[in-house]
């Protein structure tokens, strides 16, 4: 029987999303750089980098916690503490709420394939349900070469409406990695594309000066913040069939001329890089050498502008 765990929504920026196995997640000086691209409901920026840092010990009820800090500047000159206090024990992450003088488990790294997680994002909407689709050991891009336990999750619907297999959303999933956290939100809550707002991904994770993960989609730990008064949320492309069943990626790009596509695995490994000879839209790109699974893609224009998205290959 599948077990269901209720994970409580958190109201402040990034909380712990991962739990220690052979390597702890909650450690002094561990740092995540998180890239956000505005999709909707965010009129103050188009793109930004947020840096999260665990720094300092705080004791509540004779229990020791690490405090989470946040910065937007690359040099951490605007670093400030959050009311987020974290500890780990038994492959679980605990978050302390000083207002309620209580702690609760917000993530559990003991999950196995088939286990389900319920997440209450909005009290007026049925809880979102995630299912563990795979648990495997993976060597992350740009890290120290160690194999790490990875838990892959898919969004499978709502508590009162679990979708049929052909209705599953291809752009809503998360990956938890031992000692690193979520590859989408770092030390943040479980990622759900269904909630709108910003699309996030981890640029890199360091333990002090030691890199644990570097996303080779960007190959940087910081991207400049771009802002705009008006945000155009219309994507310059449309994926015509997603999930992809015939190993052909068809993209309607309209009048936009892209000259390259790069395809990445969910742990940031480049699996395909192909020049695009733009003749007409839609573009048909062969994926016959790519294994079935979920992938991130990046489309590049002549001027260097890039667009990204997610696909599922059946």
Question: Could you tell me if 47 and 134 lie in one domain?
Answer: yes
pTM of the model: 0.65
**Is 161 a domain residue?**
yes
Rounded CA gap, 117 and 250, in Å? 33
**Is 219 a domain residue?**
no
Question: Could you tell me if 55 and 154 lie in one domain?
Answer: yes
Question: Could you tell me if 39 and 152 lie in one domain?
Answer: yes
Residue 221 C-beta-side C-alpha neighbours within 13 Å: 20
**Is 206 a domain residue?**
yes
**Is 180 a domain residue?**
yes
Q: What is the pLDDT of residue 54?
A: 95
**Is 231 a domain residue?**
no
Q: What is the pLDDT of residue 280?
A: 62
**Is 271 a domain residue?**
yes
> What does the angle CA 309 – CA 291 – CA 151 come to, to the nearest 5 degrees?
70
Q: What is the pLDDT of residue 165?
A: 60
Q: What is the pLDDT of residue 138?
A: 83
Taking the chain (314 residues) in consecutive chunks of 10 residues, what is each chunk's mean pLDDT?
37 34 83 78 65 95 96 91 93 89 85 89 78 87 81 83 59 77 81 53 90 87 65 63 85 81 76 79 85 82 77 82
CATH code: domain of residue 304: 2.60.40.3580
Q: What is the pLDDT of residue 86?
A: 94
Q: What is the pLDDT of residue 154?
A: 84
Q: What is the pLDDT of residue 60?
A: 96
Q: What is the pLDDT of residue 206?
A: 92
Count of domains for the chain: 2
Q: What is the pLDDT of residue 12?
A: 31
Q: What is the pLDDT of residue 219?
A: 84
Q: What is the pLDDT of residue 276?
A: 83
For residue 306, what are the domain limits?
Answer: 238-313
**Is 207 a domain residue?**
yes
Q: What is the pLDDT of residue 189?
A: 67
> What does the angle CA 278 – CA 279 – CA 283 come to, to the nearest 5 degrees?
65
């Amino acid at each position: 029987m599948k077990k269901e765990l209720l994970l409580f929504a958190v109201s402040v920026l990034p909380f712990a999303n991962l739990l220690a196995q052979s390597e702890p997640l909650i450690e002094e000086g561990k740092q995540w750089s998180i890239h956000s691209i505005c999709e909707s409901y965010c009129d103050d920026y188009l793109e930004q980098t947020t840096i999260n840092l665990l720094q300092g010990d705080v004791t509540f009820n004779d229990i020791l916690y690490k405090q989470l800090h946040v910065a937007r500047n690359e040099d951490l000159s605007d670093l400030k503490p959050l009311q987020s206090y974290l500890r780990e024990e038994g492959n679980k992450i605990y978050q302390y709420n000083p207002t309620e003088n209580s702690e609760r488990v917000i993530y559990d790294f003991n999950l196995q394939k088939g286990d389900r997680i319920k997440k209450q994002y909005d009290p007026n909407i049925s809880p979102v349900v995630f299912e563990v689709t795979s648990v495997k050991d993976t060597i992350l891009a740009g890290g120290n070469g160690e194999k790490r336990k990875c838990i892959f999750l898919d969004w499978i619907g709502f508590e009162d409406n679990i979708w049929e297999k052909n209705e599953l959303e291809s752009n809503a999933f998360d990956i938890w990695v031992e000692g690193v956290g979520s590859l989408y939100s770092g030390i943040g809550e479980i990622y759900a594309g269904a909630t709108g707002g910003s699309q996030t991904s981890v640029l890199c994770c360091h333990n002090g000066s030691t890199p644990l993960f570097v996303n080779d989609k960007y190959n940087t730990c910081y991207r400049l913040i771009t802002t705009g008064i008006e945000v155009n949320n219309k994507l310059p492309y449309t994926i015509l069939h997603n999930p992809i069943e015939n190993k052909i990626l068809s993209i309607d790009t309209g009048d936009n001329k892209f000259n390259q596509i790069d395809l990445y695995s969910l742990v940031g490994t480049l699996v395909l890089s192909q020049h695009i000879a733009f003749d007409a839209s839609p573009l048909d790109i062969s994926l016959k050498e790519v294994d079935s699974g979920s992938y991130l893609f990046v489309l590049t224009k002549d001027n260097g502008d890039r667009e990204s998205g997610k696909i599922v290959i059946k």
